[in-house]
Amino acid sequence: MCGIVGYFGDLKATDVILNGLKKLEYRGYDSCGICYHNLNTDRFVTYKDKGRVKHLKHDFDYNGDNHFGIGHTRWATHGAPNHINSHPHSSQSGRFVIVHNGVIENYKELVAKYLSAVYFTSETDTEVIANLIEYFAVSYPVELAIRKALAMLEGSYALLIIDKLNPNIIYAGKNKSPLLLGLRNDGVCLASDLMAFVGVSSEYYVIEDKTFVKAEKVDNEYRFSMYDPIGIEFTPIRHEVSLNDDEINRGGYDHYMLKEICEQPSVIRKIMTNYIKDNRFHIKQDVLDLFANKKRIYILAAGTSMHAGFVGKINFETLTKIPTEVFIASEFAYNKPLLEKEAAFILISQSGETADLRACLVDINKMGYPSLTITNVKTSTLAREATNYLLIHAGPEIAVASTKAYVGQIAVLAILAYVLADNPKIDMIKEMSRLAVAMEAIIDKKEYIHDLVQSHLIKRNCFYIGRGIDYYTSLEAALKLKEISYIQTEGFAAGELKHGTIALIEEDVPVIAIITQRHINKNTRSNIQEVKSRGADVLVISTNDTSEPEDDIILMDVHDLLSPALAVIPTQLIAYYKALDMGKDIDKPRNLAKSVTVE
Ligand code: F6R
C-alpha cells in the first residue's frame, strides 16, 4: 500500500527518491509522484500521475542539482487513481507540500470546522492535511502549526511535509502507518519500509506513533530530532539495515514470485537453523510463558496468513491439545466472540503492518490478554506492540502473492506447537528436513507442472477441493490462482460441494483435488467421481501414500501436520504458470497491495 520516500543530503535527491519508490513498488500502487527542490533555479518541481515509477523516472526531466525532496506511490483510497489525486499534494497557496500513507477518518469534520473557505482540487484526505497546516501557519510558527495539525488528525498517517519557504527541513509525523528514518553522514532518508534504504543507509530508526520528526542540515551536518506527543525530544533506538541488494533482486528469475517459490526449501532450512539449539527445537522461555495454563488459543490473521493459521490450529490441537480458534482479523476487530479468560492470542502477519490486525491488537492489549506476533519483519508494528514475537526468517518477500512467507508461518507454528507439547510423538527435526527435500523434488518438476497447466483448461470458475488439512490448502491454492490470474476460483471442502455448489460443475470445469491424508483418501476420491461424472476436468495432487496411478502430481510423503507446506507448492506453480501464459502482471497483480495498512 502507499509508499513514501523523502531525502535530504549530498546525493542527488531525485535519484534516491525514485530508486526508493521503485523498491517500494512491491507494496502495491496505482499512481506515483515526486516534489523536489531544484537548486539551480531555486524552485520546487512536482511531477505526478497515474501509472508506474518507471514512467515517473523516464518521462520527466531531472536535470539540475537537487538534494531535497519527497516522493510517493499511491494505492487509491479517497478518489480514483488519476493525476489530480496522486501525491504530493499542496496547500492552497502552494506553500506546504505533503505525501501521506494512511486514512484520515475525521477529514470532513476538519474541513467543516477550519477549512470551509478552501478550494480543494483533489478528492483526497491528504489535501486537507496540507491545508490544515497552512491554516495554523497563519498564526503560529511553522513547526507549531504542523504539530497542531497533526494533533487533530484521527486515523492513520505516515506523513512527510515540506515548507517551500525553507528547503532545509523535512518534517514527518506518524500514527499507525509505518515510517522509518535512515541516517548516514551525507544525508537523511525517510521511508515506509526498509527496502528503500538498501544501498542508501546502513542504519535506521523506527518512528513510533504520534512522534514528530525534523530532518535537517545543521552546521554542515545532516541530523534529525524526534519528539514525543508532548513535545519532549528523545533518542530512538538505532538498528542495522540487514538487507542487501542480492536479497531484493530477482536473481536471474523472470519474476519474484517464481524466485520466492523456489526459495521455500531454504526457508525451511533457515527456520530450522534459527530455532534449533543443542540439537532440539527451542523457543524463548518468555514466549512459552505466554501459553502457560491457557485453556484456549485464538489465532488472528488475514488472507494467506489466515490460511497458515488454520494449519496452525490443527498443529496446536493435535500436539498441545489446547482448543484453538482462527478468526478473520477484520471480523474479529468489530465482532468479537465470547472470549475464554485463560487465553493467549497469536497474530500471524508476514508484513507485521496489516491494519485489520493492528485494530485487533489494540483491543487485545486493552483487555490484558497476552499476545504473540508471528512475522517476517522484526521491527514491524505488530512485532513491537504484541507481548512478544517470533520471526519466520523467510527473507524479503517482494511478490504481492505470498508464497515463502506462508510456508514459513506454517513451519514456525508447527515448531511452537511442538515445543509446547508435553509428548509430541513426532520427530520434528527429521520431519522438517524431509519436508525441505520433498519441496525440492516438486520444485524440480516445475516444467512438468507448466505442461499440465497448458493441457488443462484452467480458464474459468475453477475449484480446488480437499478435506481436513487439505481443505485449508485448497483455500490457499484458490486464493493464489485468483489473485494473480484473475480466474474465479473457490477452495471447497470436498464433501460440501454436493450441498449446492456442484450445480456449477459442467463440461470442462476444472476441479483440482488435493489428497495428502490417508484417512480421507477414499472420501475425497468419491467426491472426485461426483464431479467427473458431471464433466469436470479433474486434476489430482496426491502423495506416494495416497496416490493412484493416474494421479497428475504425486508428492513425496511428509508428516500429515506439515503436508500443507508441501502440497501448496504445486498450486503456487499452477497459479504462476497460468498467470504467465495469460500475460498477467504476476508480481504486482491489479488492485492488490503487499502491506495492507488501511482497514
Ligand atoms: C495473498 C496475500 C494476502 C496477505 C494478507 C495479510 O497472497 O499475501 O492475503 O496474506 O494481506 O498480509 P500479512 O501477512 O502481511 O498480514
Question: Whose alpha carbon is nearest atom 16 of ligand 1?
Answer: 349
Whether the Cβ atoms of residue 593 and residue 28 lie closer than 8 Å to each other: yes
Closest residue by Cα to atom 5, ligand 1, is 303
Which atom in ligand 1 lies closest to the alpha carbon of residue 409? 14
Q: Where are the domains of the chain?
A: 3-243, 250-443, 445-592
Best substitution site from 354, 381, 409, 586 to test ligand 1's pocket, by max atoms within 8 Å of Cβ? 354
Quote the pLDDT of residue 524: 97
128/144 Cα distance (integer angstroms): 17
Q: Among residues 123, 61, 131, which one has the least CA distance to residue 86?
A: 123
Which CATH fold topology does 250-443 show? Rossmann fold (3.40.50)
The predicted pLDDT at position 456 comes to 85
CB 85 within 8 A of CB 79: yes
pLDDT for position 595: 81
DSSP single-letter state for residue 40: T
Distances (CA, A) of 171 to 8, 158, 182, 183, 364: 11, 11, 14, 15, 32
What is the per-residue pLDDT for 2? 87
- The DSSP bridge partners found for residue 173 are 159, 212
pLDDT at 460: 76
Q: Which of 27, 255, 305 to mutate to test the pocket of ligand 1 (most atoms within 8 A of CB)?
A: 305
Cis, peptide link before residue 229, omega less than 30° from 0: no
What is the CATH T-level fold of the domain 3-243, as seen in this structure?
Glutamine Phosphoribosylpyrophosphate, subunit 1, domain 1 (3.60.20)
Question: From the DSSP assignment, how many helices (H) and strands (E) are in the chain?
Answer: 19, 27
Q: For atom 10 of ligand 1, which residue has the closest CA?
A: 304
Catalytic residue among 2, 32, 35, 462: 2
Sheet with 553-555: list strands edge to edge: 489-493, 462-466, 510-515, 537-543, 553-555
> What is the pLDDT at residue 28?
84
d(CA 67, CA 54): 20
Question: pTM of the predicted model, to two decimals?
Answer: 0.87
What distances in angstroms separate CA 488 from CA 307, 459, 460, 464, 597, one per listed residue? 18, 9, 6, 11, 26
Q: Which residues line ligand 1 (CB under 6 A)?
A: 302-305, 349-351, 354, 357, 401-402, 479, 483, 596
How much is the pLDDT for 302? 98
Which numbered atom of ligand 1 lies nearest the CA of 406?
10
Residues of the chain with pLDDT under 70: 457
| CATH homologous superfamily for the domain 445-592 | Glucose-6-phosphate isomerase like protein; domain 1 (3.40.50.10490)
List the residue whose alpha carbon is closest to atom 11 of ligand 1.
303
| Contacts with 592 (C-beta within 8 Å, 6 or more apart), sequence order | 28, 400, 483
Look at residue 137 in the predicted model and tell me its pLDDT.
97
* Distance from C-alpha of 204 to C-alpha of 236, rounded to nearest angstrom: 10
Give the distance (Å) from ligand 1 centre to CA of residue 482. Answer: 14
Q: How much distance in Å is there from the Cα of 172 to the middle of ligand 1?
A: 27
Is 176 part of the annotated catalytic residue set? no
**Angle at Cα 96 formed by Cα 92 and Cα 101, nearest 5°?**
105
Residue with CA at minimum distance from ligand 1 atom 7: 401
Nearest C-alpha to atom 8 of ligand 1 is from which residue? Answer: 402
Q: Exactly one of 23, 174, 578, 594 is catalytic; name it.
A: 594
pLDDT of amino acid 587: 94
Is it true that 250-443 and 445-592 share their CATH fold?
yes
Predicted confidence at residue 583, as pLDDT, reads 96
The best mutation among 375, 402, 410, 587 to test binding of ligand 1, ranked by most ligand atoms within 8 Å of the C-beta, falls on 402
CA 336 and chain centroid, separation: 24
CB atoms within 10 A of CB 128: 27
pLDDT, residue 330, reads: 96
Beta strand 280-281 with 276-277 is: antiparallel
Q: Is 594 a catalytic residue?
A: yes
Q: Give the pLDDT confidence of 235-261 residue by residue, as tens digits.
A: 999 998 877 777 778 878 999 999 999
